[in-house]
Structure 1
């Protein structure tokens, strides 16, 4: 991951020492490469003609000192209420994690997306799970893939955008609410990027990051296409993740269309009954989810397969890549238990990702 270069210039040696210790011990070091100076001459000598991103200082600096920096942010001795769009200084004596979140917010606001700040190609993969109707086991499948990736040392963010989500059934530890996400989406998208670190939670059993959102159907109902695009991009822009797994409900709401449009790959889950096939066929035939005629990034998955499929199965035109057998052991098990016990489904779905060399249709010959 490419880092943002941050230089602190201060004659306050105690402050410099505390700042240095925080940068060493905190996860924030994954975002910044930092240098600290308490001597102005040394600062000038070591930063002259070297392009840097941010200068953070409590001193008055001239043009010679600031010319090498994209942004100069002053550390104020007093706490002054200033509108965000005018802010060029921040309060010096606040917790460092809050101070650095504000630094990021100011910088992103000036420069736009992080991709315009840091050179380097985005490598995050956005994978959405969708279905034509509810009750097909989509959330469990999406989390089985997320867990498999996480257990194989991939950094994973799980984003549930269902109107009535059930994330709490899988991640049962008490976590602070992430409801502020909706505020930042509407009021200050650039601050959302800077605050994702403090808003997210991490499941201790799977190491999957996620937003611990309350069930707020009204917020999902009013979420716009732009809101969802901004949210996904903000998670991308942290450059903390290899995969972003997006769990969608079966509605044709614009938030789902936006998520699908911004996905690298889509896992479309079908259940082994006529209703599921018919609903999905109608959505695609009438382009109700905005995918057009291009199905190249869609993986059709047949879930909960029994001994045989329904009459008329052959009349539908789905290129099913894999089928997942009905597991009788799941009857009576909690969703959390199903997720933690899975050693098959996650790997099965992982093999379908485009970066994997082998792609094969696993539809049984008797169903072709």
Structure 2
């Protein structure tokens, strides 16, 4: 991921030190290239004829001094700059300030910073099942949590018709519902709005959209809109993994997500109905997508002491079997998610083994 080059020029040395301390965070240093100046002469000497993306400043500068920067954003001491594309409130939390700065920059430039490596680093992992109640959401989030704990940057995208995300991320967050408006009506501004509309879980650092359950809205999402949303998340160049949680329907949004997925975890439960429904979906190609079968990883969840009669007649290459856990009957979904020490890691190891065999 290419870094956003930001220059901070302020004569407020206390603020400069505060900003510098904040940027020491490894996550910030991975995303931003920051230079800080508190003297006009040094600032001019080191920025003249050197292109940078963003200048943050609370100092009046000449047009000549502003020329090297694609975007100049003023640090305002008055908190009325939210709708002003050229300023941000100086004394807000720096995490929020940088979010607003990036949103204004992307909106101004209409693009993200090009990836100089020419490689798309994001892995798009979808979780699907032919029947409800297979544990897709819990498995998707356990996988996302494990990745995040390994220092990976993860976005969790729930595309279920009726989702239960709030059971796992229980902190109250600002609604991200506006993202659906931009997806449908103003795709050009979608990338810039992702920065300000996404949420982050403070316990796991997983980022996600805090969307209210709205089955009607999800039902009218088109294939093109889902492809556009996933593309926009990729274009931010901020994530190592995009985890997509799908419901068990045959809706266009599921077909689109599976189409762009790097790998797919297909969950089965230890009952004949689950196996039969998945068999019909695959054999009859109800998903109508050219999904490489090698990318599908069948995971059998909630297995008991014995398999149901006839299980071996189904031609599934089951790569992971997860026993039914009686202790979970007394736990909330959040407790299951936060206490997991095995599911996320085992899914990661499964993918890792698959990639080694495939010579990736």
Aligning the two structures, in what range does the TM-score lie when normalised by the shorter sequence? Answer: 0.7 to 0.9
CA 1:53–1:322: 2 relative to 1, 3 Å:
same
Q: Contact 1:299 / 1:320 at 8 angstroms: preserved in 2?
A: yes
Bigger shift: residues 275-284 or 151-160: 151-160
> Which residue number in structure 2 is paired with residue 346 of structure 1?
344
> Which residue number in structure 1 is paired with residue 86 of structure 2?
90
Q: Contact 1:301 / 1:320 at 8 angstroms: preserved in 2?
A: yes
> Which residue number in structure 2 is paired with residue 365 of structure 1?
none
Q: Contact 1:268 / 1:300 at 8 angstroms: preserved in 2?
A: yes
State the shift of 1:72 in Å. 4.0
> Which residue number in structure 2 is paired with residue 34 of structure 1?
34
Q: TM-score, normalised by structure 2?
A: 0.80
Aligned with 2:164 (options 147, 160, 166):
166
Is residue 22 of structure 2 the alignment partner of residue 25 of structure 1?
A: yes
Q: Distance in 2 between matches of 1:357 and 1:159?
A: 23
CA 1:313–1:94: 2 relative to 1, 3 Å:
same
State the shift of 1:196 in Å. 3.6
Cα offsets for 1:190-224 (capped at 9, x unmatched): 54434444433333443433322211112212222
Cα offsets for 1:227-259 (capped at 9, x unmatched): 323333333344443322211101122221222
> Which residue number in structure 2 is paired with residue 314 of structure 1?
312
Q: Cα RMSD between the aligned structures? A: 3.6
Cα offsets for 1:126-154 (capped at 9, x unmatched): 21100111111111111222222233333
Cα offsets for 1:232-287 (capped at 9, x unmatched): 33333444433222111011222212221222111011112222122222222233
CA 1:333–1:221: 2 relative to 1, 3 Å:
same
Cα offsets for 1:152-203 (capped at 9, x unmatched): 3333222211111111222223333222322332344454434444433333
State the shift of 1:56 in Å. 5.7
Q: Contact 2:200 / 2:208 at 8 angstroms: preserved in 1?
A: yes
> Which residue number in structure 2 is paired with residue 4 of structure 1?
4
CA 1:297–1:95: 2 relative to 1, 3 Å:
farther
CA 1:94–1:244: 2 relative to 1, 3 Å:
same
State the shift of 1:344 in Å. 2.3
Bigger shift: residues 286-295 or 27-36: 27-36
Q: Contact 1:126 / 1:263 at 8 angstroms: preserved in 2?
A: yes
Bigger shift: residues 260-269 or 172-181: 172-181
Q: Contact 1:179 / 1:214 at 8 angstroms: preserved in 2?
A: yes
Which structure 1 segments of 5+ residues have no match? 361-368
CA 1:187–1:116: 2 relative to 1, 3 Å:
farther
> Which residue number in structure 1 is paired with residue 112 of structure 2?
114
Is residue 283 of structure 2 the alignment partner of residue 285 of structure 1?
A: yes
Is residue 63 of structure 2 the alignment partner of residue 61 of structure 1?
A: yes
> Which residue number in structure 2 is paired with residue 52 of structure 1?
52
Counterpart mapping for 1:111-190 below 5 A? 112-114=110-112, 116=114, 119=117, 121-189=119-187
Which structure 2 segments of 5+ residues have no match? none
Q: Contact 1:111 / 1:117 at 8 angstroms: preserved in 2?
A: no
Q: TM-score, normalised by structure 1?
A: 0.78
CA 1:22–1:221: 2 relative to 1, 3 Å:
farther
